[in-house]
Structure 1
């Protein structure tokens, strides 16, 4: 039984074992499935975590390490201009209308067509069609970089940031066999402007510091734009070169010259030889971007490169054109250049010389001079080119109460008109019939000393101060009005439309008429201030810089040698053939029949007057020969005759003085 029981129990166990195994297997399957599920869940968690980390890394990279490229991609137009690829903002022309342009759209995509400079946003840009210049990485290779590319995009110093350097010989790049010369005019730049506002003009102030500078340049009379610009390039006074004013009449041709008429292009108005023609006559090439007379066929020719005057041409375009000419191949590249800007003259006329508008204009032209200097530096020409930076005249403040009306002194007449201003002239109405026959002298007499406080004086032109050199030309009317400082002469109040602002044209010695002069370059002295001089001397100076022979002119060749490091002209002064001797009184040497009478003073009395002590001779020489004795170049002997009030060079052959020298004391009277 026991055996059976045992066997029975064993049978049940053997039957239960497969059942347990099945349950175990089911449980194992469940547990395995749960384990696989857990592993799969963990795997996804890890994968999700990895993805999150990657996304976070990318975000942090954009924020910190890769911020510029990400922001350019999403928020900047850098290298995306006018592309049809849209990020969070657009850079095509339609974005303006849609209102979803990137913030830098105008700066990066529009401004390059209007400006000649780089900024940080443009550095490394893709070259855009229509851009004035490029800030791309390859602009050096294509020779179209903006002038400040090196300083803004490459980290180099701009020209104004460099220290002054005194060099003894020109440092020119290959292809420049001689230093170019640039004549640069800032119209109406009063000499005082630089002294007063120099702190706002860093570029011009550096040129002054590093170059040759004069506190003022004396214009010719009248101190007007056309006469002075043409005197600068010819070395002639207006009476010699024919441009006697901005408005003038030629009785020979019965023609009227104004700045707005086609008549100004007629070559007959322009006499003398401007420096661009002198240079061309010596085989050099010239280029002018505006200068009075440069767009006229003078002596049958124009400059090799020139522009007909158009005041609307942007100043930057003018400067960049000169730089473009300097990049031409050597066989066609000019040697001489002119550059002209209307400012600060225009602002001075409209608002007066003491105005915020003039200060703004001064700062603008300073930037333009800087544009030129940066361009030269980028071309390695800043130590090669000689530059004359100057102006034609100054500017005076106009006031309505400082106008003298001729109708306040005499009755009005329809027989004549007045070319009004500070150097007013009378012109008959009947032209050309009465141009020479009009009663100028009678009108001058009627207008002389009419009032104690009269602020002008009438002069027949031959009686004007000789220092004006303003008489020997038919285009100068016979009757002239000389005005006090700050004053102008007009025929009647009806002729005045605007009486405030600024004007010029006055006496060329008046302080506010003085002009600017700075010379800078390898052939001009470094850090030198010189005494003021007349602008007619500049023609000879430019010829010396170009190493050419000047045409005949009113200047004194060699008078500006002290501005040059290596003067090319050595003037030889004429010598007297005979040294004068001391005059001695010859008794009885009277000449009869001279048609003159003498007073009752005895011969002994005359001899006493002519016999001076050594001290008296010394005193009269100091007083009456302050600049030394005049030289006599004629083949004739003479003696020096000393008087208490004058000194004479007496010629025994002709029995009369060859010259007399004396000094007039200051007239303290203020009465006419």
Structure 2
């Protein structure tokens, strides 16, 4: 079998390849001759140990055990650091790195060349001293380029240069820091505080233009995948790029040069990736991807079966000349039932152009409800829709009078929501329309949406976000993208593990509730990548924008929430952007199975990193 050589360069920011390509001829040649991408998105936090272990295991830091370079485990009652003997304790490391998977899969007579070459400390120390734009940085890059040149010459002398598959990556990017850009913890809170949810609105918006924002870990954006670990502290602080956070003024002494660790959507945190070898496509540039996808790719190159991981197997097939793995669509776990009045075929082709979502939740009773203006998958178990789909919108009819709400005769009374059930669901909860009736183009269609099968529990403050999106943002996005298919629905993730909760898990957190209150709501917008083609006439690749919006009693996360929605809702939504794949995992759905597009193309689209999706002006 062809061997694999993995080279990891600590802190080689993605744009260095474009900025200084002429100064690093070896890296430049490998990039031009092999397979590369504009950037590879690091995992959060964008730090060294978490990302190296993510690359090795395909697991997010919350799952691979290394959530930071420095951390504390309450069950082990031990602290981990790069300079501590604890770093050699295997209990800190979760997952199975690719090298072990390979060793377990081969016979005793099989030989392998698998090199893991780290240039971490050389590059990292130079970055710290020099920053990210200084002459010494260029010298460091040239030094690494020289070492890679020696490596390639050595492979050629061993006659392995046409045999070895080479992957060169970075763990994260790099950004300039300054001692003039710091905020202190004790400027936000007193010297002694207790964890209290009611404290957060005051701390989050303490001063105008605040550069630090504290979050309870369960309230962090789902795209960060940074909550489901006992090693993650209850409170986490997100810091504006180029700014630093210290305990008290003056406590952070090392604050000049370059560093990392910010939001992994930030451009300067993006890592480089290039590959070269007989199994990679030559002279090919692919779209950006996340580093969790490398594990499955490396297993394919070694022709072994990967262990369970956070990557999506098959999403990297387009990098390979002859892909080793052929992905297949998952089968439904609860086939959808048809409710009465199913003959609205035009509604099906218009509002479900890529087929209905496939339910991956077992033992679930879901009924497909068709209307002229939308289609929904109604859950008889949760007394609310699991999803609603519709395509484009035209003129709205204005506000809707909620008193017009009426029962849906297609749903048996025992499976229909009642006012009593809503009043007992949670304090301050009211029914909200998953599909706003005023989006219909006729009064008759509007009354189709004024039914109990189209409502879901919503906090009044969340309905401000929901209504503003449909009334103001959606029409603008539909015009920008030349039409949109919209899929939306509730998310239940009470244990904040990034996966849908089972009915038993929901009852553990909200016992006795007939109508469970969602923790989030998702929105998936699909359009044609060729913007000259409308979404219903699209015969080429698709593009998506997805959101997983937190469903909370207040909007204190936004410091401007007291102002009109135009000033803060859109920014909040894009902060909670997500991948389509994350929506699928949270909602227990598989999307686009009714599309005629190849599954590998769909997997690329579903796993496209949020850092590569920007809102249009």
TM-score interval (norm. to shorter): 0.5 to 0.7
Pick one of 489, 492, 504 that aligns with 2:260: 504
**Residue 399 to residue 284, structure 1, CA distance change in 2 (3 Å):** farther
Listed one character per residue, the Cα deviations across residues 595-619 of structure 1 (whole Å, up to 9, x for unaligned) are xxxxxxxxxxxxxxxx99968x888
Distance in structure 2 (CA, Å) of the matches to 1:577 and 1:505: 40
Structure 1 SS opposite 2:359: coil
Is residue 254 of structure 1 aligned with residue 77 of structure 2?
Answer: yes
Distance in structure 2 (CA, Å) of the matches to 1:453 and 1:640: 47
Counterpart in 2 of 1:650?
378
Distance in structure 2 (CA, Å) of the matches to 1:654 and 1:219: 37
Counterpart in 1 of 2:27?
204
Structure 2 SS opposite 1:249: strand
Listed one character per residue, the Cα deviations across residues 70-107 of structure 1 (whole Å, up to 9, x for unaligned) are xxxxxxxxxxxxxxxxxxxxxxxxxxxxxxxxxxxxxx
Contact in 2 for aligned 1:284/1:334 (Cα 8 Å): no
Counterpart in 2 of 1:76?
none
Listed one character per residue, the Cα deviations across residues 104-136 of structure 1 (whole Å, up to 9, x for unaligned) are xxxxxxxxxxxxxxxxxxxxxxxxxxxxxxxxx
Cα distance, 1:628 vs structure 2: 6.4
Is residue 630 of structure 1 aligned with residue 331 of structure 2?
Answer: no
Cα distance, 1:655 vs structure 2: 4.7
Counterpart in 1 of 2:212?
456
Question: What is the root-mean-square deviation of aligned Cα atoms in Å?
Answer: 3.0
Counterpart in 1 of 2:94?
271
Cα distance, 1:459 vs structure 2: 0.9
Listed one character per residue, the Cα deviations across residues 123-164 of structure 1 (whole Å, up to 9, x for unaligned) are xxxxxxxxxxxxxxxxxxxxxxxxxxxxxxxxxxxxxxxxxx
Counterpart in 1 of 2:248?
492
Cα distance, 1:443 vs structure 2: 4.8
Contact in 2 for aligned 1:209/1:527 (Cα 8 Å): yes
**Residue 646 to residue 484, structure 1, CA distance change in 2 (3 Å):** farther
Counterpart in 1 of 2:289?
533
Counterpart in 2 of 1:335?
113
Contact in 2 for aligned 1:386/1:522 (Cα 8 Å): yes
Distance in structure 2 (CA, Å) of the matches to 1:646 and 1:490: 51
Distance in structure 2 (CA, Å) of the matches to 1:457 and 1:647: 39
Cα distance, 1:654 vs structure 2: 6.3
Contact in 2 for aligned 1:440/1:479 (Cα 8 Å): no
Pick one of 153, 173, 182 that aligns with 1:403: 182
Pick one of 113, 128, 134 that aligns with 1:349: 128
Contact in 2 for aligned 1:456/1:481 (Cα 8 Å): yes
1:267-666 mapped onto 2 (5 Å cutoff): 267-283=90-106, 334-342=112-120, 343-413=122-192, 439-441=195-197, 443-576=199-332, 629-633=356-360, 634=362, 638-641=366-369, 648-651=376-379, 655-660=383-388, 664=469
Distance in structure 1 (CA, Å) of the matches to 2:373 and 2:287: 31
Counterpart in 2 of 1:6?
none
Contact in 2 for aligned 1:220/1:231 (Cα 8 Å): yes
Distance in structure 2 (CA, Å) of the matches to 1:333 and 1:211: 26
Listed one character per residue, the Cα deviations across residues 280-303 of structure 1 (whole Å, up to 9, x for unaligned) are 111279xxxxxxxxxxxxxxxxxx
Cα distance, 1:400 vs structure 2: 2.4
Counterpart in 2 of 1:188?
11
Distance in structure 2 (CA, Å) of the matches to 1:636 and 1:268: 38
1:35-74 mapped onto 2 (5 Å cutoff): none
Structure 1 SS opposite 2:301: helix
Structure 1 SS opposite 2:292: helix
Distance in structure 2 (CA, Å) of the matches to 1:405 and 1:248: 20
Distance in structure 2 (CA, Å) of the matches to 1:225 and 1:646: 47
Distance in structure 2 (CA, Å) of the matches to 1:660 and 1:483: 36
1:238-253 mapped onto 2 (5 Å cutoff): 238-253=61-76
Cα distance, 1:581 vs structure 2: 7.3
Listed one character per residue, the Cα deviations across residues 572-604 of structure 1 (whole Å, up to 9, x for unaligned) are 112347875776579xxxxxxxxxxxxxxxxxx
**Residue 481 to residue 383, structure 1, CA distance change in 2 (3 Å):** same
**Residue 476 to residue 637, structure 1, CA distance change in 2 (3 Å):** closer
Greater strand share, structure number: 2
Contact in 1 for aligned 2:213/2:237 (Cα 8 Å): yes
Contact in 2 for aligned 1:440/1:460 (Cα 8 Å): no
1:120-131 mapped onto 2 (5 Å cutoff): none
Distance in structure 1 (CA, Å) of the matches to 2:285 and 2:8: 20
Counterpart in 2 of 1:111?
none
Contact in 2 for aligned 1:582/1:640 (Cα 8 Å): yes
Distance in structure 2 (CA, Å) of the matches to 1:371 and 1:248: 37
Cα distance, 1:648 vs structure 2: 2.8
Contact in 1 for aligned 2:165/2:278 (Cα 8 Å): yes
Distance in structure 1 (CA, Å) of the matches to 2:49 and 2:299: 21
Cα distance, 1:492 vs structure 2: 1.2
1:18-167 mapped onto 2 (5 Å cutoff): none
Structure 2 SS opposite 1:359: helix
Distance in structure 2 (CA, Å) of the matches to 1:628 and 1:558: 21
Is residue 230 of structure 1 aligned with residue 58 of structure 2?
Answer: no
Distance in structure 2 (CA, Å) of the matches to 1:653 and 1:407: 48
Equivalenced residue count is: 398
Counterpart in 2 of 1:313?
none
Contact in 1 for aligned 2:336/2:359 (Cα 8 Å): no
Listed one character per residue, the Cα deviations across residues 230-276 of structure 1 (whole Å, up to 9, x for unaligned) are 00010001111110000000000111111001111111100111111
Listed one character per residue, the Cα deviations across residues 514-539 of structure 1 (whole Å, up to 9, x for unaligned) are 00100110011101111111111111
Contact in 1 for aligned 2:4/2:302 (Cα 8 Å): yes
Unmatched tracts of structure 1, length 5 or more: 1-177, 286-330, 416-437, 587-610
Counterpart in 1 of 2:602?
none
Distance in structure 1 (CA, Å) of the matches to 2:299 and 2:166: 13
Cα distance, 1:485 vs structure 2: 2.5
Cα distance, 1:390 vs structure 2: 0.5
Unmatched tracts of structure 2, length 5 or more: 390-433, 435-465, 474-564, 573-617
Distance in structure 1 (CA, Å) of the matches to 2:289 and 2:189: 40
